[in-house]
Amino acid sequence: MLIDAGQAMAFLSVAILLTLAPGPDNLMVLSISLAQGRKAGMAFALGCACGCFSHTLVATLGIGALLAAEPPAFFLVKLAGGIYLLWLGFRILHRSGAFSMEPGLHGKHGLKSLFVSGLFANALNPKVMLFFLALLPQFVQSGRGPAAIQMLQFGLIFTIQAIVLFGVLGYYAGKAGGWLARRPEAGLWMGYLAGAILILLGLRLVLE
């Protein structure tokens, strides 16, 4: 029931191109990394990448198609995602853009919180869910086992490559953030920028 190498490589090529394309996920990872440093950025990036697999499960179980067919339900999910991004943005602004002002920000508890934030920020975006619902079935081949099993494998491939690419983005943007952290005034404005980006993404999701 495993997908063949040709299927895997074709899907992986598309997945990498889509992940590298500028979008909300990239902006969130970049802004968090610059504002809070390398470890924080990589923790958020890992959560954001893992959130991709939730959309695979939703698409595989048919919940995505149900939400797409029910505008009120789709709106509620979109509203929840937008409000969550707004909350993250205002939370960063409340911290005044400080890189390390809060005790334990980069400790175990802080990194876990950032991972969960990235996970929910991605999982609560219904536009990504619909994207997976449209993308995954295109690579399913008859005779290779149940479509749901193939889609789960594609989702796993997408998640793994997203972990790698978002992790690299978080790492290098975080290094730049570390340089900015030694310059308090620059760090302050990067924090404001990170919060503003998340707020704008949240407003876009709610109002679009």
Report which of residues 143 and 193 the model is more confident about. 143
Three-state SS sequence of the chain: CCCCHHHHHHHHHHHHHHHHCCCHHHHHHHHHHHHHCHHHHHHHHHHHHHHHHHHHHHHHHCHHHHHHHCHHHHHHHHHHHHHHHHHHHHHHHHCCCCCCCCCCCCCHHHHHHHHHHHHHHHHCCHHHHHHHHHHHHHHCCCCCCCHHHHHHHHHHHHHHHHHHHHHHHHHHHHHHHHHHHCCHHHHHHHHHHHHHHHHHHHHHHHHC
Percent of the chain with pLDDT strictly greater than 70: 82
pLDDT of residue 9 exceeding 70, the answer is yes
Read off the pLDDT of residues 49-82 as tens digits, 9 standing for 90 and up. Answer: 999 898 888 888 877 677 667 778 778 777 877 8
Q: What was the pLDDT predicted at 98?
A: 41
Residue 178 in any domain: the answer is: yes
What domain count does the chain have? 1
pLDDT of residue 140 exceeding 70, the answer is yes
Q: Whole-prediction pTM value?
A: 0.75
Residue 27 in any domain: the answer is: no
Residue-averaged pLDDT of the chain: 79
Residue 20 in any domain: the answer is: no
Chain mean position to CA 72? 24
Distance CA 2, CA 127 (A): 28
Residues with Cβ within 8 Å of 183's Cβ and at least 6 positions away in sequence, in order, are: none
Read off the pLDDT of residues 143-187 as tens digits, 9 standing for 90 and up. Answer: 777 888 888 999 999 999 999 999 999 888 887 766 665 555 655
Residue 21 in any domain: the answer is: no
Residue 4 in any domain: the answer is: no
Distance CA 125, CA 133 (A): 13
> Of 95-104, 115-124, 134-143, where does the model show the most confidence?
115-124
Among the residue ranges 12-16, 92-96, 128-132, 203-207, the one predicted with the least confidence is 92-96
Residue 162 in any domain: the answer is: yes
Work out the average pLDDT over 95-113.
Answer: 53
- What is the residue range of 71's domain? 35-207
pLDDT tier at 95, thresholds 50, 70, 90 = low
Residue 12 in any domain: the answer is: no
Q: What was the pLDDT predicted at 189?
A: 64
Residue 6 in any domain: the answer is: no
Chain mean position to CA 40? 14
